[in-house]
Structure 1
Amino acid sequence: MRLGVISDIHANLPALEAALEALRQEGVDEVLVLGDLVGYGPHPRQVVQRLMEEGLPALLGAWDLRVAYPLPGALPQGVGWATLAWTRAQLTEKELAYLRGLRASYRLALPAGRFLGFHGSPKGPEERLDLMAPMKDLVALLERLKALGLFLGGGHVPLYRRVGAGFVADPGSVGLSLSGEPGADVMVLDTDILKARFLKVPYDLGPLLFDLRAWGLPSVLEKVYRTGRFSQEGQGLGAD
């Protein structure tokens, strides 16, 4: 089986369209979306509607949670905070209901073993699991989860690491990649031989930047889209 895995779309419709087209060309058997559909970018409603049309299995990300539910307590600071209320205001009750209905985990049982997917960590979308933790810790985690493979969104940097007989992986970010190179991150996994490929898919920045400016969203995002990294002024924004 060839599994396409994407994450962290962050309301970037041109990037999502490019990623979906790349996966179509790859001829994958299934596509998994690891959450953070909204937040930051200018197309929250369009992205949610597109995913609803595709009917893809999608997980609840940290920003989907924050948008769908006005949670008590301190709000995240920085660029994400600046786009949170605006994002929520763009969505109708139909799109908000879709976000509230997103599942927390993904499970795929194949002859080779069981594959699990989460946003952030198995503990919740706002938690973070260090995929570069000591090997023995990750081996123990896979054993506890009874999983051969573990997909986690939220890191915004593509990573695939063999752990014992299995693996842990983050597909990177479709709409807000921090890999140091612009474009949409896409992962394709051959589940039979546990071989992963990462694609960096280019997309047209023009419509994205036009809408970003038209809505008056934080200009620092433009630099992220162009370079694949936060500038010095954008450090510590906690994109997850």
Structure 2
Amino acid sequence: MRLGVISDIHANLPALEAVLEALREEGVDEVLVLGDLVGYGPHPKQVIHKIWKEGLPAIAGAWDLRVAYPLPDTLPEGVGKETLAWTRSQLSERELAYLRSLRLSHRKAYGERRLVGFHGKPGKPEEHLDLLGPAKDFLELLSHYRADLLLLGGRHLPLARRVGAGLVADPGSVGLSLSGEPGADALILDTDTLEARFLKVPYDLGPVLFDLKAWGLPTVLERVYRTGRFPKEG
């Protein structure tokens, strides 16, 4: 089976639409969303409704939880803090309830292959694992979850590596890629062979930049969309 995996949409509707169209053209059988539907971008409501319309399975990312729950504000000053309250204000109670309903993991068997997916560390969406870290850490996770495939969203950097007989991968970010190249990231995964292939999908930045300015959101985001990098001064 060919599985499309996406993550970190971050309220960027044109990027999400472009990625879904690309995955349709690739003929994937299913699409999985590894969290962070909202946050930063100008289209939180539209992205949620697109996910609903497409009927895509999704898990909760750190930003989904920050928006959905009135948790103590621990974000440092910067772009994130500037966009958090605005994002929450754009969503209805039904949309917030949807974000609160998202689980922290996705587990599914594909034939003899077992897949488990998280945003960030298992059970801790706000933290991240270094996918280039010691192989033994990932072997332990694969063994713990009795999985062949471990998918981890949240770092905004597409990467896949074989660990023992298994595979660990981050699909990168749809709406706020930090790979150093503009465009939306997606992963196509063959669940039989564990072959991983990444897509970099171009999309129309015009509507994103227009809505960014119209809502008075941080202009530094324009540089991220154009360059695929988050400037330190942002």
TM-score normalised according to structure 2 size: 0.97
1:94-109 correspondence to structure 2 within 5 Å:
94-109=94-109
Provide, for residues 65-111 of structure 1, a one-character-per-residue CA deviation record: whole Å limited to 9, x for no partner: 00000112523432111100000000011111111111211111123
SS of structure 1 residue aligned to 2:155: coil
SS of structure 1 residue aligned to 2:162: strand
1:112 Cα deviation from its structure 2 partner = 3.0
Residue 3 of structure 2 is matched in structure 1 by: 3
- Identity score, percent: 74
SS of structure 2 residue aligned to 1:232: coil
Give aligned pairs, total.
234
Residue 42 of structure 1 is matched in structure 2 by: 42
**Higher mean displacement: 96-105 or 71-80:** 71-80
SS of structure 1 residue aligned to 2:233: helix
Say if 1:8 and 1:174, in contact at 8 Å, map to a contact too.
yes
Provide, for residues 177-226 of structure 1, a one-character-per-residue CA deviation record: whole Å limited to 9, x for no partner: 00000000010001111101100000000000000011110010000000
Provide the alpha-carbon RMSD of the alignment: 1.0
Residue 238 of structure 1 is matched in structure 2 by: none
Residue 192 of structure 1 is matched in structure 2 by: 192
Residue 214 of structure 2 is matched in structure 1 by: 214
CA distance in 1, matches of 2:103, 2:29: 20
**Counterpart code for 1:151:** L
Say if 1:112 and 1:191, in contact at 8 Å, map to a contact too.
no
CA distance in 2, matches of 1:112, 1:178: 34
**Counterpart code for 2:63:** W
Residue 79 of structure 1 is matched in structure 2 by: 79
1:156 Cα deviation from its structure 2 partner = 0.1
Residue 162 of structure 1 is matched in structure 2 by: 162
Residue 179 of structure 1 is matched in structure 2 by: 179
Residue 139 of structure 1 is matched in structure 2 by: 139
Residue 233 of structure 1 is matched in structure 2 by: 233
Provide, for residues 37-78 of structure 1, a one-character-per-residue CA deviation record: whole Å limited to 9, x for no partner: 000000001001111111100010000000000112523432
**Counterpart code for 2:81:** W
SS of structure 1 residue aligned to 2:208: helix
**Counterpart code for 1:143:** S
1:137 Cα deviation from its structure 2 partner = 2.0
**Counterpart code for 1:189:** L
Say if 2:61 and 2:119, in contact at 8 Å, map to a contact too.
yes
1:6 Cα deviation from its structure 2 partner = 0.1
Residue 126 of structure 2 is matched in structure 1 by: 126
1:136 Cα deviation from its structure 2 partner = 1.9
**Higher mean displacement: 72-81 or 218-227:** 72-81
Say if 2:113 and 2:191, in contact at 8 Å, map to a contact too.
no
CA distance in 2, matches of 1:47, 1:73: 24
Residue 33 of structure 1 is matched in structure 2 by: 33
Unaligned runs of 5+ in 2: none
CA distance in 1, matches of 2:130, 2:75: 23
1:113 Cα deviation from its structure 2 partner = 2.0
**Counterpart code for 1:195:** E
